[in-house]
Amino acid sequence: MPAIVSALIVALLVRTFLFQPFDIPSESNIPSLVVGDYVFVSKTASGDGSPPQRGDMAVFKLPTDRDIDYVKRVVGLPGDRIQMISGVLNINGVPVKLEEIQLSPEFYQDRNFRFSRETLPNGRSYVIADQTADGSADNTDVYVVPAGHYFTLGDNRDNSQDSRYLNVVGYVSEENFVGPVVLIFWNSNGF
C-alpha cells in the first residue's frame, strides 16, 4: 500500500510541476498532431520565465476564453510583422522557405492535402498541410505582434482557427502559455 501512495504522490507532483497531459480533439495541426493524440506539455519551460520560442508547438489558454486550451505553433514573436501571402507565411517582410514533400498516403488518402516543409528564420522546420490554393486566410493584412504577445498558426493551414482570426484567437499573451509540446505518448485511434 505505501508504494501505491508514493507512486500517486510522485505522479501528482510530476503533473503539477513538470508535465501536463493533453489530448488533441481537432485536425488543426495535421500532420504534426492528429485527432486522438495524447501529448505531454512541459510546464517548466513556461514556468521558469523562459518565453515561447519560434517554432514551438505550444498549449495556451484561449485569449477570448481562458477555460479553453488551444495548441498551435508559435511563428511570431513580439514586434514581428506577420502576413500570409498566397498561403505563404511572411515574417518581417520575408517569405519563409517552403519545400513540397510527400507523406505516407495511408494516413491522408481521403484528403486532398499538399504537404510542405516550412523552415523558420531560426532554422526550425516542420511539415504543414494545405488543402486549397485560395483558403479564407491565405492572404491577410500585416499583423504587428504587440509586446508580450505571440502569433500562432495551426499546421493544417486551411483548417485552423489561430492568430489570423483576431476575434477568436488573436495575439496570445505570454501569461496564457501553458508550455511547449514535448512528447506524443499515445493515440486513441491507433495511429
What does the alpha-carbon distance between residue 130 and residue 89 come to, in Å, rounded to a whole number? 12
- Which cell is 110 given? 481521403
For every residue of 129-143, DSSP letters joined together read EE--TT-TTSS---E
The SS3 call for residue 7 is helix
Name the active-site residue from 42, 43, 72, 163. Answer: 72
CB 51 within 8 A of CB 41: no
Question: How many Cα atoms occupy the beta-carbon half-sphere of 156 within 13 Å?
Answer: 18
Name the active-site residue from 28, 32, 46, 163. Answer: 28
**97 belongs to the catalytic site:** no
- Which cell is 69 given? 486550451
**28 belongs to the catalytic site:** yes
What does the alpha-carbon distance between residue 134 and residue 121 come to, in Å, rounded to a whole number? 25
User: Which residues have a catalytic role annotated?
Assistant: 28, 72
